[in-house]
């Protein structure tokens, strides 16, 4: 009744396209279950085409990849107070670090297991998330040099993250990043890999690509800015979400529908029941704005989306039980896109795809 179809070949093709476009190392971001596309399956597909490196946020995600047999390089950068790094170092997971405490814990774990930890230092250039504050950066560098010289860590990379606010803002962050790298150099720290650009900057601002780009949204054919035609870059969406009609009936004019009676029929109408609700990731807040595709035509979901289902008012049109209903599909065929659903819900496409699931069956092809 509910299917989330993931085209792994499309993801692989997108990765190759991004490699050619950026001209450098491409980290494939597979955090958050690969943006809802299936972290293990996507990672195995990318490994089969010799992905440069995989990126997760949580260390637990990276460890899950190793447990699944993934041997490609992996980087993680988000930890808690209780995170321990011994197993990550044993499993050759590259680690982001931006505080003295984290560096000290990594150094201690490295000495404990007798292996050199691969570290990327992060500086905050304006986003305000993790990353060393500029005032703290020299101290972080000095600690990293101390650990490097003791043989505990290898300084593999230096990185930051852009806000995506505007070209001016992103390029200003790039300038701050370059100054931070210069500061590190003067103190005696050098890095093999410099990286700051995610999908948006990698596509729009070539000067931000540096040695490596971290590509998430664009890898899955998602527009990182909600205003870009991804097909102009040769990037295609990899997720298709469908359900089906499970009940059909005719009702008279003035028949009110679903919770809150937000919609009533204006004439004799055919109603079609579709078993896909907010439990599966169809946003309740998109009621009255989101559209789905049935029998070659778009219909607005006018009645309130419920946990398990929604109702379509087909007016004088008809439908049969079993007819496919496209929730996210191919915009070139007139089907609703994830960007359109995101707009209807007042959010971004990343949020829509990462929340798709519930009782829907994920199928890989």
3-state secondary structure of 274: strand
Q: From the candidates 31, 45, 118, 143, which is the catalytic residue?
A: 31
Which tokens go with 363? Answer: 């199928």
Given a contact cutoff of 8 angstroms between Cβ atoms, the answer to whether 320 and 272 are in contact is no
* 137-149 helix and 167-187 helix, angle to the nearest 10 degrees: 50
Given a contact cutoff of 8 angstroms between Cβ atoms, the answer to whether 356 and 362 are in contact is no
- In sequence order, which ranges of the chain are alpha helices (DSSP H)? 8-22, 31-36, 39-48, 59-67, 86-90, 100-113, 137-149, 167-187, 199-204, 338-345, 349-355
Which tokens go with 166? Answer: 């505007």
Active site residue 259: yes
Q: From the candidates 90, 112, 249, 259, which is the catalytic residue?
A: 259
Q: Report phi then psi at 110, rounded to 5.
A: -60, -45
- What sign does the CA torsion over 253, 254, 256, 260 have? positive
Given a contact cutoff of 8 angstroms between Cβ atoms, the answer to whether 177 and 140 are in contact is no
Given a contact cutoff of 8 angstroms between Cβ atoms, the answer to whether 311 and 294 are in contact is no
- Report how far residue 282's alpha carbon sits from residue 355's, in angstroms, rounded to the nearest whole number: 9
CA distances from 217 to 6, 105, 174, 211, 327 (A): 14, 32, 21, 19, 19
Active site residue 31: yes
- Residues taking part in catalysis: 31, 259
């Amino acid at each position: 009744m509910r299917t989330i179809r993931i085209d792994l070949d499309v993801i692989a093709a997108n990765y190759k396209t991004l490699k050619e476009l950026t001209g450098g190392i491409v980290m494939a971001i597979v955090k958050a279950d690969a943006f809802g596309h299936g972290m293990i399956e996507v990672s195995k597909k990318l490994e089969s085409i010799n992905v440069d490196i995989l990126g997760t946020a949580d260390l637990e995600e990276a460890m899950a990849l190793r447990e699944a047999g993934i041997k490609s390089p992996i980087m993680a950068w988000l930890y808690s107070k209780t995170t321990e790094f011994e197993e990550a170092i044993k499993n050759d997971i590259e680690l982001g670090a931006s505080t003295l405490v984290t560096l000290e814990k990594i150094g201690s774990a490295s000495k404990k297991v007798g292996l050199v930890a691969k570290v990327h230092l992060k500086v905050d250039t304006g986003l305000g998330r993790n990353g060393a504050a500029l005032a703290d950066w020299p101290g972080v560098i000095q600690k990293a040099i101390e650990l490097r010289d003791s043989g505990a860590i290898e300084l593999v990379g230096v990185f930051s993250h852009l806000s995506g606010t505007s070209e001016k803002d992103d390029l200003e962050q790039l300038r701050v990043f370059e100054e931070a790298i210069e500061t590190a150099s003067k103190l005696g720290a050098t890095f093999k890999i410099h990286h700051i650009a995610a999908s948006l900057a990698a596509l729009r601002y070539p000067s931000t690509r540096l040695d490596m780009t971290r590509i998430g949204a664009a890898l899955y054919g998602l527009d990182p800015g909600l205003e870009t035609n991804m097909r102009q870059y040769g990037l295609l969406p990899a997720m298709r979400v469908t359900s089906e009609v499970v009940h059909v009936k005719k009702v008279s004019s003035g028949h009110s529908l679903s919770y809150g009676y937000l919609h009533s029929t204006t004439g004799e109408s055919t109603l079609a029941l579709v078993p896909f609700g907010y439990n599966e990731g169809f946003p309740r807040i998109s009621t009255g704005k989101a559209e789905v595709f049935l029998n070659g035509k778009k219909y607005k979901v006018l009645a309130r989306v419920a946990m398990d289902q929604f109702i379509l008012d087909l007016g004088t049109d008809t439908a049969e039980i079993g007819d496919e209903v496209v929730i996210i599909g191919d915009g070139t065929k007139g089907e609703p896109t994830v960007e359109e659903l995101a707009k209807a819900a007042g959010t971004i496409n990343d949020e829509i795809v990462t929340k798709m699931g519930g009782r829907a069956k994920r199928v890989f092809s």
